Structure 1
Amino acid sequence: MKIGIDKIGFYVPNLYVDMRELATARGIEPDKLTIGIGQEKMAVAPFTQDTVTLAANAALNLLDEADKKAIDLIIFGTESGIDQSKSAAVYVHELVGLASAARSFEIKQACYGATAGIQMAKGHIALNPDSKVLVLASDIARYGLNSPGESTQGAGAVALVISADPKIMVLEDKSAYHTLDIMDFWRPSYSDTAFVDGKFSNEQYILFFETVWKQYRAKSGLAFKDFEALCFHVPYTKMGLKALKPTLQAEGTKEDQERILENYQKSIQYNKVVGNIYTGSLYLSLLSLLEQTAGLEAGSRIGLFSYGSGAVGEFFTGILQPDYQNHLNSTQHKNHLSARRKISVEEYESIFRQELPIDGSTIELDTSKDLAPICLVGMTENKRQYVNKQRMA
């Protein structure tokens, strides 16, 4: 049975900060951000958006009525969830209008969560071929104002429908994975910003790629010549390149290097203007590759490297399907990104400092400037309140 990605789409907030302006405000040479780490814009979530609404908006743009009836499993990967008990998947289930006969839960392992969800989805479809699974990857990356990690923040969500006989990509059976208990990045429950050992995390990311690539090569017998492109989890767009280049130069032919490096650049175009979205970063990269590369043919094999600090890594692969381009939402995504509004560094800082009450008091939020269909409208009795504006029309 062929199982894989039937649909894929993303949603990001309608606000962003220009990285050159952020660099100037922080007394940093702008090229250190735009060239050094490869970031141009950083998505900023307004106070009326959280990980639930970002994911719900991504799903709302993607699903039709047939999908909603067929989906019987919703898996939500995040490392910036909004509740220690109730899963974000349950909120999305109601906001999007999915069938009640469904399983819904949240999964966490840093930026690896959505990949874990996809692998679980494959098993579910193998047992239930007529079902579909909605996998959501949604995060708001926060390191703190003036922190070393500030320039690798971002916000957004990717939604994927996993099914039998997928229209976009069949996921192959062989994969390689690796777990090691390390402290390269973490966020305790008492903190709303993350902690990171940047140099150590970069080293581990590279080591994990080398490890799982070697394992995958031994399992599959495949080499770089068998791949049209490789996509990476990209907390910043130069990170994947740091891991890829040494191994590619050691093992790949000149032709392999030119092809894979060219397609790598296509795969990071969305990430450059969105920033780090944690669990969704790999899949935003995949979308960028598919929607920015005209020459990718059906039958092409794409490699995917997923890394979640702490740490778990996996390398797996997919085969593009006939006419896959007809099932992408390239124009919608292009228009969505171009319609965003640039805000000043001062506006970004003001948004960053806003906090919801933690004492059970009521707050009502003004959503009139938020163009998203699904928004956070407030809190009452320690409960977040959401609205789907399309139901009010």
Structure 2
Amino acid sequence: MAHHRPRVGIERITAYPCTLSLDMKLLAEARDHDPRHPLEELWVSERSLNPTWEDPVTMAVNAALQIVRPEDRQDIELVIVGTESSVDFGKPISTYVQRYCGLTANCRNFETKHACYGGTGGLMMAAHWVASGAAPGKKALVVCTDQSRVHLGQPWEYVLGAAATAMLVSAQPDVLELDLDTCGYWTQEIFDTYRPTSTKEVGHADTSLYGYLDALEGAYDHFVARSGMVDYDAEFARHIYHVPFGGMTFRAHRALLRRGPHEMSLREARAHFERKSKQALRFNSRFGGTYTSATFIAMLGLIDADPELRAGDKVSIFSYGSGSCAEFYRATVGERAREQVASQHVGAGLDRRMPLTIDEYEALERQRAAYIDQSDYEVDQSGLRGLYERAYAGKGRLVLDAVRGYQREYRLS
């Protein structure tokens, strides 16, 4: 690793798990599909959902509030929100994060959009800003927040989800130190998945699959050229891949193993993946599709799940965003990684979600879709078996009360 840059990386990281869940086995049975498909081929067992008083804004703020401490408020001078689910084509979600986290007014803030890559783009911008020394001692807050559009009865229904992640980026990389000098990146303009309107989310399975794998190899080759790495297996203790669904990460891992010096059988490749990457899917398999948050939820899962991961270990991280852009980068596990991730209790948060019936899920998604693009509406916070009183009232979570003349009215519960 080059030493002319100051140390920089993730000081704290968390994920907001939402308050509702849907069981994929129940969904498959309701759709007359084989329940083994989501569980054994996609590796998705559950997904997170929001009540109608939550949206990408509330998720972003509720994630950030979990890691922003009072002493941080004067030090954070950059807020970046990565999303492909913004509630407004002009006003960025970052303004709400700055306001409701109580940050100083001297805070540069904006939103980044590049499908699932937007959060990684924000992380890299933030890390380079910290490393530049332009504002010595100051920190950046990077938030990823997304939720799926409505796809009732469609093939994509098993890979949908909702989540937000938040990262404090600073010169104190307690969780992960980033190697900014060797990042490999790659892009090509394609139509694999995209959101052409405020209500539609379009995907082409084959284009998406091959676009991901092309970008993985392109970004990896660029990383190799920049870093001089000769042995992918020996260089990294563990590997994290972008997770549109868990099963895709094995395909990615096998694609890179094929470029190594040793030919592996399918059985050997699967054993290698089980040892060096699969534990990263601990939380992704329960969140469902999380878009910009996916690699960071895998990061949280790996640190939480892998007892053999040690401070000082090198991990590879691959991020992909449809359309497309990809980045392959190297990070070093920090001294307080396990302690910091454990303090966030992500698994317990997932356990606390209220499971929905299929009827409740479908009604909720139809109601959410009906609100999109409406200039005026009041959000009904009753129903859902008393969820608001149980999970929100008095807990200081951001909620949406109403939209009046397109102005969104939020408050801390």
Same fold (TM over 0.5): yes
Residue of 42, 45, 54 corresponding to 1:40: 45
Aligned to 1:68: 73
Aligned to 1:54: 59
Q: Give the residue type in structure 1 aligned to 2:408.
A: R
Structure 1's 258 and 376: CA in aligned 2 closer, same or farther, altered over 3 A?
A: same
Aligned to 1:154: 161
Q: Give the residue type in structure 2 aligned to 1:369.
A: L
Tell me the distance in 1 between the aligned counterparts of 2:175 and 2:272.
21
Q: Residues 170-217 of structure 1, C-alpha deviation per residue, up to 9 Å, x if partnerless?
A: 10021111111100111113x413101111101110111111112212
Tell me the distance in 2 between the aligned counterparts of 1:218 and 1:361.
54
TM-score by length of 1: 0.94
Residue of 13, 20, 27 corresponding to 2:25: 20
Aligned to 1:361: 376
Structure 1 residues not aligned, in runs of 5+:
none
Tell me the distance in 2 between the aligned counterparts of 1:139 and 1:362.
22
Tell me the distance in 1 between the aligned counterparts of 2:343 and 2:314.
20
Q: Secondary structure at the match of 2:88?
A: coil
Q: Residues 216-256 of structure 1, C-alpha deviation per residue, up to 9 Å, x if partnerless?
A: 12221223211011111101001111111132144166799
TM-score by length of 2: 0.90
Q: Residues 78-135 of structure 1, C-alpha deviation per residue, up to 9 Å, x if partnerless?
A: 0010001110000121112111110111110000001110111012112223110000
Tell me the distance in 1 between the aligned counterparts of 2:113 and 2:261.
35
Aligned to 2:296: 283
Structure 2 residues not aligned, in runs of 5+:
1-5
Residue identity (%): 29
1:204 aligns with 2:219: no
The worse-fitting range, judged by mean Cα deviation, of 74-83 and 339-348 is 339-348
Tell me the distance in 1 between the aligned counterparts of 2:26 and 2:62.
29
CA RMSD of aligned residues (A): 1.8
Aligned to 2:287: 274
Residue of 377, 390, 404 corresponding to 1:380: 404
Q: Give the residue type in structure 1 aligned to 2:333.
A: L
Q: Give the residue type in structure 2 aligned to 1:104.
A: N
Query: Does the aligned pair in 1 maintain the 2:14–2:344 contact within 8 Å?
Result: no
Tell me the distance in 1 between the aligned counterparts of 2:287 and 2:377.
32
Query: Does the aligned pair in 2 maintain the 1:263–1:293 contact within 8 Å?
Result: no
Aligned to 1:136: 143
Aligned to 1:5: 10
Segments of 4+ moved more than 4 angstroms: 252-260
Aligned to 2:254: 245
Tell me the distance in 1 between the aligned counterparts of 2:149 and 2:374.
22
Q: Give the residue type in structure 2 aligned to 1:177.
A: Y
Aligned to 2:310: 297
Q: Give the residue type in structure 2 aligned to 1:179.
A: T
Residue of 236, 256, 277 corresponding to 2:245: 236
Q: Secondary structure at the match of 1:6?
A: strand
Query: Does the aligned pair in 1 maintain the 2:253–2:273 contact within 8 Å?
Result: no
Aligned to 2:3: none
Query: Does the aligned pair in 2 maintain the 1:291–1:330 contact within 8 Å?
Result: no
Tell me the distance in 1 between the aligned counterparts of 2:410 and 2:325.
33
Aligned to 2:195: 187
Tell me the distance in 1 between the aligned counterparts of 2:222 and 2:209.
20
Tell me the distance in 1 between the aligned counterparts of 2:259 and 2:8.
33
| Residue 258 (structure 1) shift | 4.9
Tell me the distance in 2 between the aligned counterparts of 1:277 and 1:179.
21
Query: Does the aligned pair in 1 maintain the 2:241–2:252 contact within 8 Å?
Result: no
| Residue 12 (structure 1) shift | 1.8
Tell me the distance in 1 between the aligned counterparts of 2:272 and 2:344.
25
For this pair of structures, how many residues does the alignment match?
388
Structure 1's 260 and 129: CA in aligned 2 closer, same or farther, altered over 3 A?
A: farther
The worse-fitting range, judged by mean Cα deviation, of 248-257 and 271-280 is 248-257
Tell me the distance in 2 between the aligned counterparts of 1:19 and 1:252.
39
Tell me the distance in 1 between the aligned counterparts of 2:374 and 2:247.
42
| Residue 327 (structure 1) shift | 2.2
